[in-house]
Amino acid sequence: MATTRRTDIEVRVREALRVLRAAGKVEDAGLELKGSPPSAETKAAQLAGAANASGGESIVWVFGIADDGAFVDISGFEFDDWFARMPGQFDGPYPEPTIAWLDHEGNAILAVSFRTDHAPYVVKRVADPRQRETPWREGAHTRTATRSELIRMLLPQARLPHIEILGGSVAFEPQPGQSPDLVKDVVFAAELFVDPADANGFHLSKHRCELSVQLGEKTFVATAGNVALQATDHERYPQTAAVRPTSAGLHIQGPGSFALNTTRIGQLPADVLNGLTEATVVITLGFGPPVGLVQARVTTRAFARDRMMIVPGTLLALARR
């Protein structure tokens, strides 16, 4: 696993904070808001548990903002001094950090992304350092890993693909024969770049793909019958494309692009649309083994000409379902 880029950390954290403001909670299972930096000695088990449960994907701790959204002053916090005490709490490898200082609403916050590709992580018990424990993080609680969880950690884990939105939008189209000032049809279209991060590749099954669009208090859902997958690279370069169409979806053998589009997934009165500034899109992709079902949330950033646009280059923070 390569070291996480600081730009990737920032994208993931800012999306989590946007969801926190909108929904009152963080929905990224691999990201925790810590507020004040906790004691490194007492939090080693929590870090190990989160890393062991992550399936090999990076986890992020954010200092300077609590889980209720309240800011905490960490201007004097020295991460290197704090983390220097952490490795001594582990028996063997420990999750390696990459840090990114961010400005959020005029406040300094620190995002720390931890690599988790050397699980299982074993820690020394605080009460008796001679004893060892393999922790497991479940929700807000840390406990000792079960036998089945230990086996899961030791089995090879398929890495999640890298997916980037090359361009996309939620569009509002006038209905045929109707005044555009009355009701608009809601549709979604995007072109995505995918890097499978796995030498064997995998299949993306259309019947397992879904998409939802939240506009204000309304949520529109596109099930498999409304979703279309298109191997755009294969149409341009049929002999060399790494993303190819199949009767049931797409086969992704290497880096390439594909289109994800929907038919009409709902209707919105034009006067309601005029009061909206953004949309939240939840994309569910049904990959075959060894990846499985994954989901990501993305927010539009600009509204022009009956379209809410997704910023090109937006990385999808995928999580297994």
The pLDDT assigned to 87 comes to 93
pLDDT for 254-292, tens place per residue? 999 999 999 999 888 888 887 888 899 999 999 887 778
| Residue 73 binned pLDDT confidence (cut-offs 50, 70, 90) | very high
pLDDT for 26-63, tens place per residue? 767 789 999 998 887 778 999 999 999 888 888 999 99
Residue 5 CA to residue 104 CA, distance in Å, equals 19
- What predicted TM-score, i.e. pTM, was given to this entire model? 0.59
- Give CA torsion, residues 180, 181, 183, 189, to 10 deg: 50
pLDDT for 284-308, tens place per residue? 999 887 778 888 888 887 777 788 9
DSSP characters for 105-118? TTEEEEEEEE--TT
Q: 117: which 2 tokens?
A: 């590709």
The pLDDT assigned to 140 comes to 80
Ordered by where they begin, the domains of the chain are 6-154 (3.30.950.30), 162-320 (no CATH)
User: What proportion of the chain, given as a percentage, has pLDDT over 90?
Assistant: 48
The pLDDT assigned to 159 comes to 74
Owner of token pair 């005044």: 179
Residue 60 CA to residue 227 CA, distance in Å, equals 32
Residue 157 CA to residue 313 CA, distance in Å, equals 27
Does 110 have pLDDT greater than 50? yes
